[in-house]
Amino acid sequence: MSEDFPALSPEVRALLDRERTSPPLSPAVRARALAAARAAMAAGGGAAAPRAPAAWTRWAVAAGLTGVAAVAAATVAYRHQHASAPALPAAPAGTALATEPGPPPAPAPLAVPSLPQAASPAAPLPRLADDGPRRGKVTREELRLLSQARAAVAREDFAGALSPLAEHAREFPNGRLTEEREALHVKALVGLGRGDEARRAATSFAARFPRSVLLPAVRGMSARSE
C-alpha cells in the first residue's frame, strides 16, 4: 500500500511505531470517563435519543450565544455611558459600583443568581459596563484569569484553580467567560473532592446556562463526585 507514497524515513517510522504503543490510561481517568458516560446515558433518557446532531449544533448555539452576549454587553456599556451623566435619582438596590457615586440601575437581563463561589464579598457590577473602549483589555484580563485556572486544573492543582476563579467571579461576575468559569469551578470542586459544593455549583450552572455546550460535561463531572 505504502509503495505509492514517499516512504517514511526509518527514523520517522520508528517514532510512529513508538507512538503506536503509547501507555494505557490511568485507572482514575478510565473510571472517570466511564462514570461520566454512564451518567450521560442515565440523563439522556431513551436509547439513542437525538443527541448527536445536538453535539454539532451545540457548538453553533454556543457561538451564537457568545455573539448575543457580546452584543448585550456592548449595549449595556453604551447605555451606561450615555445615561450616567444626567442626574439619576437613586442608587441601585443591592450591589454598588465602587468608583462612581451615582451609578445607574443594574441591568436586569444580566442579573446573576448567587453562585456558590469561594469568597465573593460585595461583588461589584460588571466591570464591562465601566470601560466600553477598554473592552479588549477587559477581555484579556478575563482570559488571563481563566487561563490560570485552566492551567491549574490541567495540572490537577485544583486548589490553585479556585483563586483565579474567585477573582474572576469578583471582577467579572457577568463577564464574557462566565460560562467557562462556572464549568471550571465545578471541575475544580470535583477534583478537590468537595462533592456537595460541586453538585450545587453544577445545579446552579444548569439553571443559568441550560443550553450550554458545557452542560453535559458539567453534569458528568458532578455525577462523578457522587
Partner 1 sequence: MSHLRLLSSPTPQLTRDEECLDAFQKELDYVYRSLRRLGTPPSEVDDLAQEVFLALRHNWATYDRERPLRPYLFGICFRMSAASQRKRRREVSYAVMEVDEPGPGPDETLLAKQLRAHVLNALEQLPLKRRAVLVMHDIDDVAVRDIAAALSIPLFTVYSRLRKGRRELEAALRRIPAPASRTTPATSGGHA
In the complex, the residues that contact partner 1 under the rule CB under 8 A are 1, 4-6, 8-12, 14-20, 22-26, 29-30, 32-34, 36-38, 40-41, 44, 47-53, 55-56, 59, 62-63, 66, 139, 143, 147, 150-151, 153-156, 214, 216-217, 220
> CB within 8 A of 35, min separation 6: which ones?
220, 223, 224
Handedness of CA 31, 37, 41, 44 (dihedral sign): positive
Closer by beta carbon to partner 1, 59 or else 78 = 59
Closer by beta carbon to partner 1, 129 or else 153 = 153
Distance, CA of 63 to CA of 69 (rounded, Å): 10
Q: What is the nearest approach in angstroms of partner 1 to the Cβ of residue 72?
A: 17
Closer by beta carbon to partner 1, 129 or else 186 = 186
Q: What is the nearest approach in angstroms of partner 1 to the Cβ of residue 6?
A: 6
CA angle at 79 for the pair 74 and 80, rounded to the nearest 5°? 95
Q: What is the grid cell recorded at 220?
A: 458528568
| Whether the Cβ atoms of residue 104 and residue 88 lie closer than 8 Å to each other | yes
| Whether the Cβ atoms of residue 71 and residue 225 lie closer than 8 Å to each other | no
Count other Cβ atoms within 10 Å, centred on residue 73. Answer: 22
| Whether the Cβ atoms of residue 197 and residue 116 lie closer than 8 Å to each other | yes
Closer by beta carbon to partner 1, 82 or else 155 = 155
Q: What is the nearest approach in angstroms of partner 1 to the Cβ of residue 112?
A: 21
Q: What is the grid cell recorded at 225?
A: 463526585
Closer by beta carbon to partner 1, 15 or else 159 = 15
| Whether the Cβ atoms of residue 221 and residue 190 lie closer than 8 Å to each other | yes
Closer by beta carbon to partner 1, 4 or else 90 = 4
Distance, CA of 58 to CA of 64 (rounded, Å): 10
Q: What is the nearest approach in angstroms of partner 1 to the Cβ of residue 192?
A: 16
